[in-house]
Structure 1
Amino acid sequence: MGAVAVPVIAGLGTAHPPSAEQDELWAGFFSGYFSGAPRALAQRIFANSGVRRRQAVVSPLLEDVSQWPTERRMRRYQVEALPLGREAVARALADAGLAADRVGLFVVCSCTGYATPGLDILLARDLGMAVDTQRMFVGHMGCYAALPGLGAASDFVTARGRPAVLLCAELTSLHLQPAGSRMDTQQIVSHALFSDAAVAAVLVPGGPGYALREVASVTDTSTADHMTWDVTDTGFRMGLSSKVPQVLSVHVRGLVEDLLTRHGTKMSEVDGWAVHPGGPRILNVVEQELALPPDGLTASRATLAEHGNCSSPTVLLILDRLRGAPRPPDRIVMLAFGPGLTLYAALLDRRA
């Protein structure tokens, strides 16, 4: 038998709906959306979110979906997600120099909308993927879904020696909740942070790009209620405990050290960090626990500022920013967090 090919991220493609400034969103909609005592708290949270601008397929400045039933939101999801996903995958394939009909596995991650036939089938059709292209849909894993998605794609590439494509597409703007008595601090935080995006990655057996060495995870099920995403009659409702950073502080260093040790790598040898910006406190905790240099999370903070928290695509947006730097990192650790409470990590090495 020949040597097993290392799965390599050979192309990335991003797609964003129109942007709005955070201050504009506050003045034009959310200052009136939050009433009574929560308004002052909300204004502080919006101002300190680390977000300067966000993207949305349904901007509240133009269209208030907060009273829409879930069925209407799901119909809109299909309308908006298809062109956004198509743009991201087409750009990733072009970046990798790969024809759509050579894709062996197409993985789609999304927790903000559901339909059957889904994005995996409709996009495979629209992009001209082969009839024997295998598909996998990953739903309701939330902000960390890109990493198990990469893991599934890389396993396929290793086992079959064929290319795979991962698409993460999230339309969080469809889930603006009705204002009123249930508008607690957790809802304010989610409405201040979340944004829409689609990002695709192409993985191939060998060649130049970022080799995916391993995907690892740890889940603290004792804190399962700290982060939730519930389907309600008026869209999906986020639950986001203020204790999440504390849980991450317990687990993140051990997860990263164990991953690096298995590959004979030291923390100091990692020159690129793609850390999911669940919010400023999340980044501060990771920076402190890993003893990162002052500029270690610059790409993560810049992505939060320019795009907000886009759920599963966000960590791929950060990876795209890192690889496009004047001096791209040689070794990258990706970290993302979500319901469970789950932490995921991946180790990448750059190949010329």
Structure 2
Amino acid sequence: MTAAVITGAGSALPAALDQKAAWDGFFARHYEGVRAAERIFMSAGVRRRHAVANPIDEDLSGWGTGARMARFIQEALPLGKQAVAGALDAAGLAPGDVGLFAVATCTGYATPGLDIRLASDLGMPAGLQRLLVGHMGCYAAIPGLAAVGDFVTARSRPAVLLCCELTSLHVQPAQRDLEQVVAHALFSDAAAAIVVEPGAGRGHRLAGVVARTDASTADHMTWDVTDLGFRMGLSPKVPDVLSRHVGDVVDELLTQAGLRAEDVAGWAVHPGGPRIIDVVRDELGLREEQVGASRRVLAEHGNCSSATVLLVLQELADVDGPIVAMAFGPGLTLYAALLLPA
């Protein structure tokens, strides 16, 4: 079978926002009187994040969903274009070479969507196949990668995956709800793209994907469409559920390839929060430096939903050996992918 190989990556980030400045300039009064709010906000492992809508400058918490969706298209188009163009340049391909363009997002929708608008703007062919991976949440990059990988293997044509998430457009009205404090402390904006080519002799090939959904814990993480944007529900029990499943998922992924955890050269763990990284480290018996790329991405960029694991993979761009990428989200769902040197 033709291998599906990641040969290029690109990203685009809106303006940076210091975490302390975000608290002092907006969220302190937003959560005034909520005990422990500042401590939770400042212990999220985030030093700065990126926002197309800086809450210090503009308060979107009272905006309707329609206005937020219109803003999404306005802001996502230039970010998506920059990320995809960067990935294509890194791969040495032209937009006309692309056979499938997949877009993953859970933070904005329109029809025609980002896939159609960006394909046209970038000059991708009229016969381009397109795929929208919508509302899966933080883990969407991995099933997105699996889908484009299957296309590349079956069709022997290149594909592009773009993850574009603008969580800053979904700031919620002030509520005495610590789950909302956690969500507002963690989430950030980013666009990240990868190019996957058939049979390339450079980069990392997709060697396997494993998924696990624990439907009994479906209420632990939610992303509800409301009249005032999308609202996150985030239970503190999420790391406990992850601890029950992550070992088995990684064992299955590596066993299929005849590998063990000690054979893995790079770990791209979705940094859903500090406790998420801690649980993965401890359950898999990893050293702290092995999750260093995830810590750095969380600190410098925050949790950018589906784009985040692609940002971590960019941190691991110089790793020559096997890489395990994993992400977690609503369901509760765990996805993991094995990438081997081409």
Q: Kindly indicate whether residue 82 of structure 2 is the aligned counterpart of residue 91 of structure 1.
A: no
Cα deviations by residue, 1:16-42 (Å, 9 ceiling, x for unpaired): 000011011111111111121x1x411
In structure 2, what is the equivalent of residue 334 of structure 1? 325
In structure 2, what is the equivalent of residue 206 of structure 1? 199
In structure 1, what is the equivalent of residue 14 of structure 2? 17
CA distance in 2, matches of 1:97, 1:329: 20
CA distance in 2, matches of 1:5, 1:338: 30
1:264-275 correspondence runs (5 A): 264-275=258-269
CA distance in 1, matches of 2:27, 2:181: 10
1:110-189 correspondence runs (5 A): 110-180=105-175, 183-189=176-182
In structure 1, what is the equivalent of residue 298 of structure 2? 304
CA distance in 1, matches of 2:258, 2:239: 28
Structure 1 gaps of 5+ residues are none
CA distance in 2, matches of 1:228, 1:59: 24
- Give the one of 101, 120, 130 matched to 2:96: 101
Cα deviations by residue, 1:168-214 (Å, 9 ceiling, x for unpaired): 0000000000113xx41110000000000000000001220011111
- Give the one of 260, 266, 276 matched to 1:282: 276
1:303-322 correspondence runs (5 A): 303-322=297-316
**What's the TM-score once normalised by structure 2's chain length?**
0.99
Cα deviations by residue, 1:312-347 (Å, 9 ceiling, x for unpaired): 0000000001114xxx24110001000010000000
In structure 1, what is the equivalent of residue 189 of structure 2? 196
In structure 2, what is the equivalent of residue 345 of structure 1? 336
CA distance in 2, matches of 1:291, 1:340: 25
CA distance in 2, matches of 1:129, 1:216: 31
Question: What is the DSSP-based 3-state SS (H/G/I as helix, E as strand, rest coil) of the residue aligned with 1:295?
Answer: helix
CA distance in 2, matches of 1:108, 1:61: 30
Structure 2 gaps of 5+ residues are none
Cα deviations by residue, 1:102-151 (Å, 9 ceiling, x for unpaired): 10000000000010000000000000000111000010100000000000
Question: What is the DSSP-based 3-state SS (H/G/I as helix, E as strand, rest coil) of the residue aligned with 1:312?
Answer: helix
In structure 1, what is the equivalent of residue 26 of structure 2? 29
1:96–1:202: 8 Å Cα contact kept in structure 2?
yes
Cα deviations by residue, 1:34-91 (Å, 9 ceiling, x for unpaired): 121x1x4111011110000000000001111000011100000010001100000000
CA distance in 2, matches of 1:187, 1:15: 26
| 1:291 maps to amino acid | G
CA distance in 1, matches of 2:60, 2:98: 37
How big is the shift at 1:215?
1.4
1:252–1:343: 8 Å Cα contact kept in structure 2?
yes
| Alpha-carbon RMSD | 0.8
CA distance in 1, matches of 2:27, 2:173: 12
1:66–1:178: 8 Å Cα contact kept in structure 2?
yes
How many residue pairs get aligned? The number is 341
| 1:29 maps to amino acid | F
Question: What is the DSSP-based 3-state SS (H/G/I as helix, E as strand, rest coil) of the residue aligned with 1:204?
Answer: strand
1:322–1:329: 8 Å Cα contact kept in structure 2?
no
How big is the shift at 1:160?
0.3
1:65-76 correspondence runs (5 A): 65-76=60-71
- Give the one of 221, 242, 252 matched to 1:258: 252
CA distance in 1, matches of 2:59, 2:135: 24
Q: Kindly indicate whether residue 72 of structure 2 is the aligned counterpart of residue 77 of structure 1.
A: yes
4+ residue runs over 2 A deviation: none
- Give the one of 46, 53, 56 matched to 1:58: 53
Question: What is the DSSP-based 3-state SS (H/G/I as helix, E as strand, rest coil) of the residue aligned with 2:328?
Answer: strand
Percent identical pairs in the alignment equals: 61
Question: What is the DSSP-based 3-state SS (H/G/I as helix, E as strand, rest coil) of the residue aligned with 2:289?
Answer: coil
2:210–2:252: 8 Å Cα contact kept in structure 1?
no
CA distance in 1, matches of 2:281, 2:121: 42
Question: What is the DSSP-based 3-state SS (H/G/I as helix, E as strand, rest coil) of the residue aligned with 2:147?
Answer: helix
1:335–1:346: 8 Å Cα contact kept in structure 2?
yes
Question: What is the DSSP-based 3-state SS (H/G/I as helix, E as strand, rest coil) of the residue aligned with 2:117?
Answer: helix
| 2:3 maps to amino acid | V
CA distance in 2, matches of 1:61, 1:19: 12
**What's the TM-score once normalised by structure 1's chain length?**
0.96
